[in-house]
Every structure is written in structure tokens, then in C-alpha cells.
Amino acid sequence: MSPISIFFIIFFYIASLIFILGVSYKLVQYWNTPVPLKIPIAPSSLDKKGVFLRFFREIFLFSSLFKASKWTWLFGWTFHLALVLLFFRHLVYFWPGDVPLILYKIEPFKYAAYPLVFGLTGLLGRRIFVDRIRYISSPSDYLMLLALIFIALTGMFMTFGHNHPNLLMVKNFTEGLITFQWSELPGEIIFLAHIFPVFCLIAIFPISKLLHAPGIFFSPTLNQVDNARKRRHISDWASKKDNDLKIELENNKKDD
């Protein structure tokens, strides 16, 4: 096996390990973060069913972003939808063994690369040309958008251009990463350029703004029921503090 294949295999597992450990750590941290106040964004729901529907609108339709900025919503929603379609399109390469027929039937999802680039270009232009967005943008914001655009463009060149890698080698290599039956990596430069930033984004996911994907479920402004007038809100952290204080007072009384 070539050194470049060994490098990418090791890189993939290191990136995946960082991803799993980092995301797990952040989710535990989010779960244990005290929420002392009722702070749902108005208008908010009065029951859990309404909270679920609100999450549905936010995750699948980006409803609050639509109300805030129609252009940003168009670029953001287009990008995320295309990303999901392309994710399922790429499953055919990672699926171990016989690939289900349905994964071959979604081959037209490859054309989602065009709206993907459209959405990413719009989001990048927004950070460059809108003053208030440019002011709060950090170098990492530009870097991640450029990396995603680069991944999309290299994928398009391989799919629609004349730089096709050996698809059998691609399938064997990616499937081998899942089954631990490692295979030689296709040697085309454009394929290496395509997967390298993908592995980099996997590795930096837990420490970047990409973490908003799971983080949205822990947002108290979205996941809380607006029932502050009917029920007193006491976080687990505050409840534990109250119980510890009661125990301490009872022990002091016994000592007296």
C-alpha cells in the first residue's frame, strides 16, 4: 500500500476519533449546563407539542431566519438542503457489501452540487459585502465557507468534468474505511484534494461553528415551554443547590 493511502487512512481515523470524542464531550457539557431562567423567544408555545412543531419549522424550514432575512434564508436553506441530498448520494460509496437499490436510484441527487455552490457563494458574499456581518465575522468563518466551496467544486469537476477517478477504487477505499479492510487510494490529485478538506472539517467540527447542528437542540430559547406564569422554573442545578442547603440547615439544627 502506498504511503499516501496509509496517510489518508490514519488521517480519517484520527479525524473521526476527534469528531466522536469532541462532539460527545460538548453534548454532555450542553446537557449539564444550568438553565436558571425561562427565556423562550416570543412568540413561543405553551405546551411540548408546540415546542416540537417549532423545532420542526426551525430545523427543516429555518423559519426564524426566513423572518429575519429572505436572502440569507434562501442561501442558507439551499445550502443545507443540497448538503443533505449529497450526503445520501455519497452513501453508495461507504455502504458495506451489497448496496441497496434505492441508493442507486438517488443518483440524480448529484445535481444538488449546483445549488450547494449557489448557497455557499451567497453566504460568502454576505460576509464580504454586508457591513454588519463582515464586522462580526472571524477568519474561521471565511475559511470554512471557502473549504466547503472547494469541496463542492472538486466534486463537481470529478462528476461532470473529465477528471473521473477510478470509481471502483473509490468504492473499495471508502468501504474499507468502514469495514477495516483497507484498500489502495485512487491516485488522482483532484480526488485527494476533494477528501483532504473533508477530513479536516470532520476533525475541527467539535471546536467550530459547525457544532450548531446538534447544539440547536440544547438552545433554551427554543426548547423551553412558555409556562413561566403557571409553573415555577427551577433548573436541576438550582434544585440540587436547594436540597443541599436544606440538608445543611437540618444538620445545623441537630448540632444545636
pLDDT in tens, 171-195: 999 999 999 999 999 888 999 999 9
Residue 121 has pLDDT above 90, yes or no: yes
Q: Output the pLDDT for position 256.
A: 59
Q: Give the lowest-confidence range in 6-20, 32-46, 114-128, 174-188.
A: 32-46
**193-222 pLDDT tens trace:** 999 999 999 999 999 999 999 999 998 888
Domain of residue 56, CATH code: 1.20.950.20
How many domains does the chain divide into?
1
Q: What value does the mean pLDDT take over residues 130-155? A: 94
Q: What value does the mean pLDDT take over residues 147-174? A: 90
Whether 85 contacts 112, CB under 8 Å: yes
Residue 28 has pLDDT above 80, yes or no: yes
Residue 242 has pLDDT above 70, yes or no: no
Residue 129 has pLDDT above 80, yes or no: yes
pLDDT level of residue 132 (50, 70, 90 thresholds): very high
The three three-digit cell numbers of residue 143, written as one number: 475559511
Query: What is the extent of the structural domain holding 33?
Result: 3-255
Q: Output the pLDDT for position 237.
A: 66
Distance of CA 17 to the CA centre of its chain: 16
**C-alpha to C-alpha distance for 107 and 166, rounded to whole angstroms:** 17
Q: Output the pLDDT for position 238.
A: 67
Residue 37 has pLDDT above 80, yes or no: no
**45-84 pLDDT tens trace:** 888 888 899 899 999 999 989 999 999 999 999 999 999 9
* % pLDDT > 90, the chain: 59
Which 3-state string (H, E, C) describes the chain?
Answer: CCHHHHHHHHHHHHHHHHHHHHHHHHHHHHHHCCCCCCCCCCCCCCCHHHHHHHHHHHHHHCHHHHHHCHHHHHHHHHHHHHHHHHHHHHHHHHCCCCCCHHHHHCHHHHHHHHHHHHHHHHHHHHHHHCHHHHHHCCHHHHHHHHHHHHHHHHHHHHHHCCCCCCHHHHHHHHHHHHHCCCCCCCCCHHHHHHHHHHHHHHHHHHHCHHHHHHHHHHCHHHHCCCCCCCCCCCCHHHHHHHHHHHHHHHHHHHHC
Whether 156 contacts 115, CB under 8 Å: no
Angle at 33 between CA 31 and CA 34, to 5 degrees: 120
**C-alpha to C-alpha distance for 236 and 61, rounded to whole angstroms:** 32
The three three-digit cell numbers of residue 239, written as one number: 434544585
**220-233 pLDDT tens trace:** 888 888 776 677 66
